[in-house]
Structure 1
Amino acid sequence: MSNASHHRYLSKLGLAMLAGLVLVAGVVVLADPYGLYGLVREPGLNAEKPVPQHFRNEIKLSIAQRLGATQFLLGNSRVEVGFDPDSPLLGGSAYNLGLAGTGTMVAAGQLQYLRSFGIRPSRVIAGVDFHDALLAPGQRGGARRVPVAGAGKLGWRVESLFSLAALRDAATTFTMQGDREAETMTERGLNPLNQYVKFARYDGYYKIFRQRAEESAASLVRKAPGGLDREGLRAELRALVDAAASDNPGVDLRLMVYAYHAQMLALFEASGMWPRFEEWKRIVLEEAEAARARYPQAHIAVHDFSGFGEFNCEAIPGPGEKGTTQWYWEAGHQKPALGEEMMRRMLADAPDNGFGMALTLQNLEHDRQRIAAERAHCVAAQPGLFAEARELVARAVRRQEKQL
């Protein structure tokens, strides 16, 4: 092959590759599977978006910036699937930054990243999870570093535009339109767990609750001989509060104890975790009180949604039954309908007499009495729920003993 022919071949190859990249980028931008561009969002074309499998944090932070959000919902999957940022209670300026499988330090990192761009939130609603403070035997606790959010880096932007994964997600975006049971993420970050509608229809709610309860029982039994990460818990709470309130007078910061279903709390009891749960609450309240002293102009409150009341003690359809639930997908994750009720109570500063009460060190004993009274009613209404929790924990203990 002559030099001229060789150069022509390379030129054509380069042009073909460039055309391919332009085509891929054009398809990805049109589909906009991650909602990064916002050029076109048409029903039937690309209005519904798949839940990102990669760069989840970067994508959510970038969209929150693009939308100009000033209120943020923070936490793990319990926030991501359970709180609708489009709620009229929030006035249209909220974004759900919740990320499944993450902890408080990720939330602190998200706020720090936004602050680096001059975004100081007017309101932060953040979930804190008891499970995150539990240590398995031999596991070390202590202060963790705040992870650095990489939303400002170029690499993930390039990959989310030109990769085969991006092209696949673009194709998914086009094909999922009109599928009401597709796994999706709304423009403001809610994952409504639409796919669970299909699971519930085919398997029934009992199986969904049972599977999650078995997993939770195994985890609690494994960690029961361990301890509570007091140092790490305190450090994480301080990092979160500082990221929200430092140089941000007047911020409305709501920390919430998640609305675990009564089944989950029964597992806490059966596995011997209840005293640790009570100590965990006290530490959260101590840190909230210290935070109010550091930031007297901020509004910092802790709302307790745990308990055995009318919402938490929702009946679970029995085996083989095709009934539905109003408030929960399973014991660890509430539906957005319950998230709406939780936000309504938080933002209305509900009185300290029930679900979502504003919890302080001064009314902690009253809260314990409330929960004890609710438990008595829940046991009377659903004794099988507590018996099943004891059975699941006992089975988990036997399995663990066989593995030793």
Structure 2
Amino acid sequence: MDRRSFLKSSSLVASGFALNSLFNQSVAQTNNAILPSKKHPLLLNFNENSLGMSPKAKDAIIQALPTAFRYPDDARAELLNNIAELYNLSDKHISIGNGSSETIQATVAMLANKAKQRGINIQLVTPDPTFNYAELYSLPLGVKITKIPLKADLSFDLEKMEQAASNFDGLSVVYICNPNNPTAMVTPYSQLEKWLGTQSDNVFFIVDEAYAEFVEDPSFISAIEFVKKGQENLVVTRTFSKIFALAGLRVGYGVAAPNTISAIDEFLSIDNTNTAGAVAAIASLKDKTFIAHSLKSNNISRKIVEKALTEIGLEYAPSQANFIFHKVNGDVKTYKQRMADANVMVGREFPPVVGWNRLTLGTPEEMEQFVIVLKQFHEKGWA
């Protein structure tokens, strides 16, 4: 079950909130000698940041509460300026969304409307598997979905994606998640540069960089560099949900040429920013110590899991995000259910890539607990 399906069940939503509440209460008590329990489960399934938000972000929310009866216009404007300064761009290059997913939704809607006005066909070209919100937002609009399977090494088949766009009679919307979800793998800038750097009226790129702040691979360069060069058929989406741990406050943004941002904004909710989210995001951007701590914690957690996977002989993809994609011996659905029975909530399988499971990287303490369970499973022949 993915998070969208999860949210459709009210009973599951209620239990999910309860699990999160119980787990947050238990964080201070956990250590690698304590196994997960019904009261204190491990939630390693939705790529959340178990560290929780920056203390400065918490303080900013508390300080903003007395004026929360006012509309968040000033805080929103400040956030726009802060993001723009981060990339040496103007605030006209930035669009704030209710999470990066709203920016993706608005972009798809804008492009579908553009195709309708031009009287031409429209398709979404997307790798398979990848984060599927661009696809889900396209379906109700009658956008043709063209999926290009990953290569055997789990990398994007950019050549076939480009062919699919070139051979289409109409507007092609190309979705690229970098690092990709669920593989956590980076697509090097050198492989993207030629195609993404091409200005075209019939191709538009949505580059989802939700996990970019976790990347340390020097082959990765943000697609924001194309925006800086003035390219207009491109939007780069980012989020405060991951390294900044603000998933519950729903703050994301898009970076694009001013004309492109203006077109996208027409399809966004006018009041899509709340005071708590805005001030927390501003404080998070400024808290360099927390950002470094979040990255270090994630790297330690990754090494803990990679070491365990290597020891028991399970293949895994090279991760540059806060999750790791690894093989499972046997049926993934059975593995997932057995993990749930052991009070460990892991990710899922992503067809057409079968036999692999996506695991969120929690805190190092959480991953030490996960490794204990994983090794027990391996001894039983379950992993």
TM over 0.5: no
Q: Which structure has the highest helix share of the two?
A: 1
Q: Which has the larger radius of gyration?
A: 1
Q: Which structure has the highest strand share of the two?
A: 2
Higher RCO, 1 vs 2 (CA within 8 Å, ≥6 residues apart): 2
